[in-house]
Amino acid sequence: MTAPGTDSGSVQAAPQVTGFAATMTVIAMGLGYSVSYADPIILSANISEVREGLDMTGSTASFVASLATLALAAAVLGAGALGDLYGKKRLFVIGLLFSIGFDVLAAAAPTSLVLMIARAGAGVGFALVLGLSLAIINDVFPPERRAAAIALYLGASFAVSAPQPAIGSMLAEHFGWRAGFLVAPVVAVITLVLTLVYVPETLRSVRKLDLFGLASVAVALVALVFGISRLEQGLEPVSVIPIVVGLVAGAAFVYRELHTPDPALDLRIFRSRQFTVAVTAGAVYNFLTGGTTILIAYYIVAVRAESPALLGLLLVPATVLQAIAATGAGRAGERFGDRAVLIVGLSLLLAGLLMLTILDENTSTFVLFIAVALNAVGGAVVQTPQSTIMMASAPAELGGAVAAAKPATGQAAYSLGPTLFALVGATLFLHDGLPKLDGSGITESEAREALRVAHGGTTSSAGGTNVLDPEHAQKVVEGATDSMLYAIHTLGLIMAVVPLVTIVCSLILLPSKASAKDV
């Protein structure tokens, strides 16, 4: 195995794209990314109609909403490894075909069982698309153009993702919930055509497939994502057992990767401090995005007594700003260095959390939008240097696996965000507000249940109509609004430590632009 960042003897220079083909390649990869990003949001936003249409129980509907994400988490690192071995373009195309076929099956599903099969299959397709799109960009652009290409790829993905949830909800409203599943296939078909015409096949690595490693990391990721998302129900077997299984499988994966000559992911890459900081920064972004979404949803529903759909409306222009920020971050990275851009992104996430500490009952929607936008833009700015640093550290024969490590760690961090924010926030609220609820007939367990997060484990901050139960949440908070504001303010301050520590680590561990070439 070669050292991280060097070429293996079994891997030659990949075919590269220029001119119009380069533009189409960036657009195709951005469109592919958007499919895996937006499709789970569409389902989450319309899960009530899907549940009613197929006569599902609440627990079944919740499982269906998270199934594609669980399948993605299980398959994403394997998708990257398979792309390294059998061709990234080929596997990317297979992922698009999976997305098209299984979403069409979901739209036609006669029963909840068929829908479950369809969502699991779509999740595997999303894993192939999400896990390989960044790797393809990395392979087909030369080093001097790679950072700009990654920035444009992320910018395109955010821009195309922005309208898809609204389009899906509009179709579901006018033509029924089945129509919402057809947005992703349309985008995937366009992506497929562009990919087949303009994207070159990348060269393959000559190495053995680490089946045990891929199986163990799949079990670890899906068990951890599932268990963490169920922690909001308390330390029950449904959450504790999967987490324990995930930790054991994760330990087995680490042991395997350190002792096999052909690992699915060479863990020696984490010896690179740049790579480790980049992965950490991405996890921080995903953690804060998931958690902040829930916190703002609490505020909108329980304090302002407005529809949670307001958050979805605020996220549309925020996502447009994400696209602009991601593109600008690429140019800024070339001029000021990746460390400077990463710190700016983390600082914007920090500012977004601190904005939450000034919210009150009469805060304007514009101020609320600034808080939402700071989180969205900060995340976009973080992702650009994160992707550039990670791919620059990738051994030539492991580009797919390294690219897939980005969404793999992001999935786990995103699942932890809503759970931890909800648990800590509910505890703070009940500590301050429970005495004020005395005489209302609401018990502590009933209050916790009313504020329990009903997210579907989606891969982005949807802010749809199912974040929490609006009626019950408003009833609980009605007599203790100041306690909810106290919880939001305190939680914002507590979680501000996370980006602050990451900023300090970035300053210490990442080289400045001037010294980067010497590290």
pLDDT above 50: residue 455: no
Name the pLDDT band for 461 (thresholds 50, 70, 90). Answer: very low
CB-based burial label for 441 (10 Å; 0-12, 13-18, 19+): exposed
Considering the domain boundaries, does residue 198 fall inside one? yes
The crossing angle, in degrees rounded to 10, of helices 112-140 and 399-433 is 120
Of the three residues 159, 178, 203, the one that is the final residue of a domain is 203
The CA-based dihedral angle spanning residues 420, 157, 67, 97, taken in that order and rounded to the nearest 10 degrees: -160
Name the pLDDT band for 5 (thresholds 50, 70, 90). Answer: very low
Q: What is the CATH number of the domain that holds 478?
A: 1.20.1250
Q: What is the CATH number of the domain that holds 129?
A: 1.20.1250.20
Q: Are residues 129 and 185 in the same domain?
A: yes
The crossing angle, in degrees rounded to 10, of helices 365-392 and 273-298 is 160
pTM for the full predicted model: 0.81
pLDDT above 90: residue 28: yes
Length reported for the chain: 519
Considering the domain boundaries, does residue 455 fall inside one? yes
Considering the domain boundaries, does residue 1 fall inside one? no
State the DSSP string of 127-143.
HHHHHHHHHHHHHHS-H
pLDDT tens sequence across 395-425: 766 678 888 888 888 877 887 787 788 778 8
SS (H, E, C) 187-234: HHHHHHHHHHHHCCCCCCCCCCCCHHHHHHHHHHHHHHHHHHHCHHHC
Of the three residues 203, 222, 251, the one that is the final residue of a domain is 203
**Sign of the dihedral through C-alpha 49, 51, 53, 55:** negative
pLDDT above 70: residue 306: yes
pLDDT above 70: residue 1: no
Considering the domain boundaries, does residue 9 fall inside one? no
Helix (H) or strand (E) segment spanning residue 55: none
Q: Are residues 242 and 195 in the same domain?
A: no
Domain count, the chain: 3
pLDDT of residue 495: 93
Considering the domain boundaries, does residue 71 fall inside one? yes
Q: Are residues 325 and 445 in the same domain?
A: yes
Considering the domain boundaries, does residue 6 fall inside one? no
Q: Are residues 436 and 454 in the same domain?
A: yes
Residue 372 identity = V
pLDDT of residue 344: 95
Q: Are residues 77 and 218 in the same domain?
A: no
457: left (phi over 0), alpha (psi -120 to 50) or beta: left
What percentage of the chain carries pLDDT values higher than 70?
84
pLDDT of residue 8: 42
pLDDT of residue 457: 39
pLDDT tens sequence across 164-206: 888 888 888 889 889 999 999 999 999 999 999 999 887 777 7
pLDDT above 90: residue 36: no
**Mean pLDDT score of the chain:** 82
Query: Which of the 8 DSSP states describes residue 453?
Result: -
Contact by Cβ (8 Å): 358, 306:
no
Q: Are residues 393 and 502 in the same domain?
A: yes
Of the three residues 161, 187, 203, the one that is the final residue of a domain is 203
Q: Are residues 329 and 386 in the same domain?
A: yes
Considering the domain boundaries, does residue 424 fall inside one? yes
pLDDT tens sequence across 474-504: 666 666 788 888 888 999 999 999 999 999 9
pLDDT of residue 471: 62
pLDDT above 80: residue 236: no
Considering the domain boundaries, does residue 370 fall inside one? yes
State the DSSP string of 234-254.
-S-HHHHHHHHHHHHHHHHHH
* Cα-Cα end-to-end distance for the chain: 21
Q: Are residues 405 and 444 in the same domain?
A: yes
Identify which has the larger pLDDT, 23 or 210. Answer: 23
- What domain range includes position 220? 210-263
Q: Are residues 218 and 276 in the same domain?
A: no
Residue 260 in tokens: 């096999």
Name the pLDDT band for 448 (thresholds 50, 70, 90). Answer: low
pLDDT above 70: residue 11: no
Q: Are residues 170 and 283 in the same domain?
A: no
pLDDT tens sequence across 123-169: 999 999 988 999 899 888 888 888 888 999 999 888 888 888 888 88
Residue for token digits 């648990």? 423
Q: Are residues 351 and 308 in the same domain?
A: yes
Q: Are residues 195 and 240 in the same domain?
A: no
pLDDT tens sequence across 64-77: 877 888 888 788 88
